[in-house]
Structure 1
């Protein structure tokens, strides 16, 4: 991958960035008197929706995800390295595989839960789930489906489908990262997997799950040893954080998620992970070459959609302005 390969698309990305929602747009939505007024802020933007229909159904996710799907379709056509786009769409593909596997196993209809994002069509994924084979899917993805189906046949635990797809998602993400071999992308992947593991430990311990649960739940694809995390978990989640994560570049920031009662706030941890990735991709604002401007734009669109849903759901449920501000992610370039 040559940095100069991205010169053309980066010029286009700069024009796309001008259409991103700004901090003041989100602030206007937060300050809006009601849901209808918040939706008014989106008039004239790239988001297409029937306001009366949205107010009736309260389905904020559909128009936001339709918009995101259109963005990804265009970027797949433009990107010199489509695998770069896969770094972001892969989680939707593995989500769809979870849905389709459960639909296949339980003989129930979950079509409404599918998200049409990713370079593989829904029909291709259905064929993979039904046959266990594919000429277009990555071998890791094929193995993921085969393993999940085989495990269900042996143990009959539908919950294991989610665990398998999460595990293979991170394995697939690591494979793409290693193939691209670009340090900012490696940093993003390390952050995603390591903090996923930390969050999983916190939630598992809070739920009183046995230690054996962590062996299936945690990913081995992170930069911090899975076994070390499991061993230290015997001393509690805070001990895991301080002993194994304090040496990371973001170690000091992790202290902010520890509450006075010596417990970890998972909502703050999730938000911190987004903020850390924001710090990495924001460097793309100052670069003319290489893939970072494209990565930054994709992350900006993902964050934009996340913020829209957070605010619209919040306005619908009459959540206080200050609480909404606490939940909103940083806007790209801010």
Structure 2
């Protein structure tokens, strides 16, 4: 990957990042006393929702997703390397594949659930699910999808499609990272998959599920074996895993997670937040370089977390929940 190719898009990012909501503006949104004040504050952002709109969760979600869709469309058009954008948009591709596979299985129209984010585009995905063949996907992934559909036909259980698509997603992520040939992007994929495995085990344990259930859900693309994740619960072994994943780069910023691991109190929700925090800090260092291929990943993550934070905040306002619950669950903010 030639880093010199990124100077032009990085200049564009330096302009576009001015439209991202700052930490100071988020503080104002959190302090808004009513929907009228919130609507006024949103007028200076890309999410120009009216006071009436703020009573409607569907309209809020449409506004948030419209901005995210527009951002990814811009990124795909401008990037010198689509693999970087695909790394972050691939989860939407596999969301769409799940929807299409379930629609095929149930013989229902579920097109309202599709999200126009990512490449290949929706008609190509539809053709893939219909024919179980495509030139737009790696051959190994086509084989995975054929196997998923075959398993579904054997068991007639929609969970087979869910689990199979998740595991295929992780294989595909790994292939993209390998093609990019960059250690930071490979580290990002390790963070995504390792935390998925750890969250899956923690939730399964909370629900008193057997080990056999856990093993069906865990990805082999992670840095440890499935049995290792099942064995890791707290204490020094989990700390060793965490240090391998985190290194010393962000130890101070993420100290609270390490404390919870040592105390054996870390929850699945904590681990979800840890995944986002690790990814954020992994690419946040790009702000110090002008020709880095990481600036685009940093910007897209910033937009993703902005949408997540606004969804939390605005949903809380609609449902009249205390803002203290929102601040506890908020993701990192660009420029923090």
TM-score, structure 1 normalization: 0.91
Q: For the Cα contact (< 8 Å) 2:22–2:335, is it kept in 1?
A: no
Q: For the Cα contact (< 8 Å) 1:259–1:265, is it kept in 2?
A: no
With over 3 angstroms needed to count, the CA separation of the structure-2 counterparts of 1:147 and 1:294, relative to structure 1, is same
Look up the SS of the partner of 1:185 in the other structure: helix
1:143 equivalent in structure 2: 143
Residue 202 of structure 1: how far off its partner (Å):
0.3
CA distance in 1, matches of 2:235, 2:162: 27
Mapping of residues 145-294 of structure 1, within 5 Å: 145-230=145-230, 232=231, 237-238=233-234, 242=238, 245-250=241-246, 253=255, 254-258=257-261, 262-294=264-296
Q: For the Cα contact (< 8 Å) 2:29–2:41, is it kept in 1?
A: yes
With over 3 angstroms needed to count, the CA separation of the structure-2 counterparts of 1:156 and 1:326, relative to structure 1, is same
CA distance in 2, matches of 1:153, 1:36: 53
CA distance in 2, matches of 1:204, 1:169: 21
Residue 43 of structure 1: how far off its partner (Å):
0.9
Task: Determine whether 1:126 maps to 2:122.
Answer: no
Aligned residues: 329
2:11 equivalent in structure 1: 11
Deviations, residues 138-159 of structure 1 (Å, cap 9, x unaligned): 3344233212211111111111
Look up the SS of the partner of 1:18 in the other structure: helix
Residue 36 of structure 1: how far off its partner (Å):
4.3
Deviations, residues 184-226 of structure 1 (Å, cap 9, x unaligned): 2122111111111100000111112121112221111112222
TM-score, structure 2 normalization: 0.91
Q: For the Cα contact (< 8 Å) 1:281–1:295, is it kept in 2?
A: yes
Q: For the Cα contact (< 8 Å) 1:47–1:63, is it kept in 2?
A: yes
Q: For the Cα contact (< 8 Å) 1:191–1:277, is it kept in 2?
A: yes
RMSD: 2.1
Q: For the Cα contact (< 8 Å) 1:2–1:290, is it kept in 2?
A: no
Look up the SS of the partner of 2:188 in the other structure: helix
CA distance in 2, matches of 1:229, 1:240: 13
With over 3 angstroms needed to count, the CA separation of the structure-2 counterparts of 1:258 and 1:45, relative to structure 1, is same
2:328 equivalent in structure 1: 326
